[in-house]
Amino acid sequence: MTMLKEGRPTAPQAVREEHMAPATATGNRALMLEEPLIFEIGSNDTTGVDFAAAPKAVSRLGNLARKDAIGLPGLSEQETVRHYTRLSRQNYAIDLGLFPLGSCTMKHNPRLNEKVARMPGFADLHPLQPQSTVQGALAVIHELAQWLITLTGMHGVAMSPKAGAHGELCGLLAIRAALEARGDARSVVLVPESAHGTNPATAAFCGYKVEDIPATPDGRVDLAALKARLGPDVAAVMITNPNTCGLFERDLKTISEAVHAAGAFVYCDGANFNAIVGRVRPGDLGVDAMHINLHKTFSTPHGGGGPGSGPVVLSEALAPFAPLPFVEKQGDKFVLVEEETVEDHHGRSFGRMVAFHGQMGMFTRALAYILSHGADGLRQVSGDAVLNANYILRSLADVLDAPFGGSGPCMHEALFSDKGLAEGFTTLDIAKGLIDEGFHPMTMYFPLVVHGAMLVEPTETESKAALDQFIMALRSLAERAKAGDEALKGAPYHAPRRRLDETLAARKPVLVWTEPELAEAAE
């Protein structure tokens, strides 16, 4: 019998032991407790807290006042705390283990950044405070903006967009404003197959017709096809570099020259900037606009208790059309330039995207990360991220098909396919098996150019020991899928819930709690 260490069984043996293990009376599995819905714990006719009777008062809600009971169960404080603590233990997080999603960089968020974001001078700001009372916050925004301009080799930056897709919208609106300013209305945006999925959606939202550009057999943009399609109706090309196949677009500078010669602009999706930060400046490659996901490259958490952040760096041609407001240093003071001064300061801005710079927590975290690393440290970040991805790619290439493994090293993510698995076994089986091994599954079935895609991004914050454990688990699952181990089709066995009908869950989700007797009556 093959053992991993200290008597820990391999996955196949663990599955067999699962079938032999007797069920518990509670449904619990040792410290993994079975947790019912909050509606199943308490009842609607009780309360966990005693309140004195409220005095009669005239309602100011008019016909908007609630006429029926709110329907929430009454729980004691201890019951409430236990319920949410138990639920939190069923959630996977970067603080528990490797998060190998290839579609979104999930790296460690240093606690230093969290401490900075919680400093009262940043955490307690109000967007309507007088500018004289928020000089430190404006200085942070300004300094972060200068870092982003320097790292990308661009001319300006819009700090107000709240996310990557919001940044895409910002970039395309600036492109549209620049074209309209020269009286050159264009209707088409070209999007390569290897670009991020939000790119065509953003272009369509802006009113453009979207056309695909095919990929070459090695997973990169077909330069000849792109050049053949360029014309007076093309407004922009939206390209992702490194692309979603985990490959660097080596022809980007040539692409930019051809696009500019046709009178169009180059939008670069910067979601994968973590792979090249400190090593490649997009501005040097002819990029006109690129959003930067602060949560991907500069370690701000996904959400973080407020809006996200997707600053957009802009070329000299597009900078005058950037959105308002923006921070400007005037003498020894920082000023938030508003609409009333647009003609004096910002040329031909397309307007506002948001009411306020509400993502202060993201700005402080990102700047703390940049300052703690410095330029040399950021260069090492990208180098380590690429090294880790290539370590995974080469360590698994003998058991998993790597469709572009022959194209040389990958960048920040390793891409595999389901080719070579036994008949009837799919990428989904391997992903569910990873849950039993204690890992969050990798990105599945994306990018679409690869059948049964498995996209893995380890990031730079994982140690070799962590990578080796993940590689061992994925190798074991690949070998089982290739050998036709039927037990794998039932995974996961050790999760709080077994395998669900994902199609039914997506098409007919049950979003509202219904009392059992009412649900039966409805049926």
- What is the domain partition of the chain in residue ranges? 112-369, 378-507
| Eight-state DSSP code of residue 405 | G
* 7: exposed, middle or buried (Cβ count in 10 Å: 0-12, 13-18, 19+): exposed
> Could you tell me the two tokens for 50?
């005693």
Mean pLDDT of 253-275: 97
Q: Which of 119-123, 261-265, 494-498, 511-515 has the lowest mean pLDDT?
A: 511-515
* Diameter over CA atoms, the chain: 78
The CATH architecture assigned to 378-507 reads Alpha-Beta Complex (3.90)
Q: Are strands 326-330 and 188-192 parallel, antiparallel or unpaired?
A: unpaired
> CB under 8 Å, gap of 24 or more: what pairs does 141-144 form?
141/327, 141/357, 141/363, 142/327, 142/328, 142/329, 142/334, 143/367, 144/311, 144/363, 144/366, 144/367, 144/370
| Eight-state DSSP code of residue 496 | S
> Could you tell me the two tokens for 261?
């010669």
- pLDDT given for residue 16 in this prediction: 45
Angle between helices 135-152 and 360-396 (to 10 degrees): 30
Angle between helices 464-483 and 427-436 (to 10 degrees): 130
Q: Which residues pair with 377 in a beta bridge?
A: none
**Fold agreement between 112-369 and 378-507:** no
- pLDDT given for residue 345 in this prediction: 47
Asked if 173 and 206 count as a contact pair (C-beta separation under 8 A), the reply is yes
- pLDDT given for residue 76 in this prediction: 87
* 56: exposed, middle or buried (Cβ count in 10 Å: 0-12, 13-18, 19+): exposed
Task: Give the whole-angstrom CA distance, residue 169 versus residue 165.
Answer: 6
pLDDT of 37-69, one tens digit each? 888 888 877 777 777 888 888 888 888 888 887
pLDDT at 143 over 50: yes
pLDDT at 10 over 90: no
CATH 3.40.640.10 is the classification of domain 112-369: yes
pLDDT of 149-207, one tens digit each? 999 999 999 999 999 999 999 999 999 999 999 999 899 999 998 888 889 999 999 99
Indicate the helix (H) or strand (E) that contains 40. Answer: helix 38-41
Task: Give the whole-angstrom CA distance, residue 479 versus residue 257.
Answer: 47
